[in-house]
Amino acid sequence: MAELQELMDQLNEAQREAVLENSHPLLVLAGAGSGKTRVITTKIAYAIEQLGIPPYKILAVTFTNKAANEMKERVGEMLEGRSDVNDCNIRTFHSFGAWFLRRFGSEIGLDSNFTIYDDNDSLSLLASCFPNYKKRELDPIMRKISYAKDRGLTYTDNLQSLKVDSTFKRMFEAYERKLHQVGNVDFADLIGRSIELLETKSEIQQWVHRRFSMILVDEYQDSNAAQFKLLHRLVGPSTFICVVGDDDQSIYRFRGAEVQNILSFPDQYPMARTVKLEQNYRSTQNILEIANSVIKNNKGRHEKQLWTANRKGGKPHLSYVQDEQDEALRIATIVKKDRRFNESAILYRTNAQSVAFETMFKRAGIPYKVVGALQFYEREEVKDALALLFLLTNTKDEVNFKRMINKPARGIGPGSQDTILAYGPEANGDLLAMLRLATEKNGLSNKAREGAKHFLRMYEHAQKMLQEGELVDCAYFLIRESGLLDYYRKLDQQNTTAKVENLEALVNALSSYESSLEGLLLFLEQLSLDPTTLGQEDPRDKDGVTLITMHNTKGLEFDRVFVAGLEDELFPGRSVESDEDIEEERRIFYVAVTRAREELYLLSASARKIWGKTSYNHPSRFLDEIDPSLLTVQGIRPGTDSGGFGYQGLSSLQEKRKRHDAASPSRSSSSSWGASGAPIIQKGFGSKAKTFTMKTVHEAKEGEPLFPVGQRVYSDSYGEGEVITLRMSGDREVIEVRFFNGKKTTFISKFAQLEKIGGE
What are the binding residues for ATP?
Answer: 30-37
Give the SS3 label for residue 713. Answer: strand
Confidence of residue 278 (pLDDT cuts 50, 70, 90): very high
Confidence of residue 99 (pLDDT cuts 50, 70, 90): very high
What is the arithmetic mean of pLDDT over 620-647? Answer: 77
Q: What CATH homologous superfamily does 317-374+540-634 map to?
A: P-loop containing nucleotide triphosphate hydrolases (3.40.50.300)
> pLDDT tens for residues 443-452?
899 999 999 9
Q: 1-104+192-279 and 376-529: same fold?
A: no
What is the arithmetic mean of pLDDT over 501-523? Answer: 87
456, amino acid identity: L
- pLDDT score recorded for residue 531: 65
Q: How far apart are CA 204 and CA 202, in angstroms?
A: 5
- 143-147, 195-199, 540-544, range with the lowest pLDDT: 540-544
Share of the chain above pLDDT 70, in %: 88
pLDDT at position 658 over 90: no
CATH architecture for segment(s) 1-104+192-279: 3-Layer(aba) Sandwich (3.40)
- 243 torsion bin: left (phi>0), alpha (psi -120 to 50), beta (else): beta
Burial classification of residue 401, based on how many CB atoms lie within 10 Å of its CB (0-12 exposed, 13-18 middle, 19 or more buried): buried
Give the SS3 label for residue 750. Answer: helix
> CA–CA distance from 287 to each of 34, 307, 590, 591, 629 (Å)?
14, 10, 10, 12, 13
What is the arithmetic mean of pLDDT over 546-566? Answer: 94
> pLDDT tens for residues 314-365?
999 999 999 999 999 999 999 999 999 999 999 999 887 888 898 899 889 9
Q: How far apart are CA 473 and CA 478, in angstroms?
A: 9
Of 192, 261, 219, 253, residue with least CA distance to 65: 219
pLDDT averaged over the chain? 86
What are the binding residues?
Answer: 30-37
65, amino acid identity: N
Confidence of residue 700 (pLDDT cuts 50, 70, 90): low
Q: What are phi and psi of 501, to 5 degrees?
A: -60, -35
Confidence of residue 716 (pLDDT cuts 50, 70, 90): low
- pLDDT score recorded for residue 667: 31
What is the arithmetic mean of pLDDT over 201-214? Answer: 97
What is the arithmetic mean of pLDDT over 147-155? Answer: 92
Of 158, 148, 163, residue with least CA distance to 226: 148
What is the arithmetic mean of pLDDT over 96-103? Answer: 96
> pLDDT tens for residues 596-607?
999 999 999 999
What is the arithmetic mean of pLDDT over 198-208? Answer: 97
Of 251, 249, 240, 188, residue with least CA distance to 217: 240
Alpha carbon distance, N-terminus to C-terminus of the chain: 81
Decide: pTM greater than 0.85. Answer: no
Of 532, 529, 520, residue with least CA distance to 112: 520
- pLDDT score recorded for residue 742: 64
Confidence of residue 731 (pLDDT cuts 50, 70, 90): confident
Of 29, 43, 34, residue with least CA distance to 71: 43
CATH architecture for segment(s) 376-529: Orthogonal Bundle (1.10)
- pLDDT score recorded for residue 674: 29
pLDDT at position 670 over 80: no
What positions carry a catalytic annotation? 36-37, 218-219, 249, 595
Share of the chain above pLDDT 90, in %: 64
Give the SS3 label for residue 547. Answer: strand
Residue ranges of domains in the chain: 1-104+192-279, 115-182, 317-374+540-634, 376-529, 711-756
Contacts of 490 (CB under 8 A, 6+ apart): none
Peptide bond into 270 cis (omega under 30): no
Contacts of 383 (CB under 8 A, 6+ apart): 120, 377, 403
- pLDDT score recorded for residue 601: 98
> pLDDT tens for residues 61-80?
998 888 898 999 999 989 88
What is the arithmetic mean of pLDDT over 605-614? Answer: 75
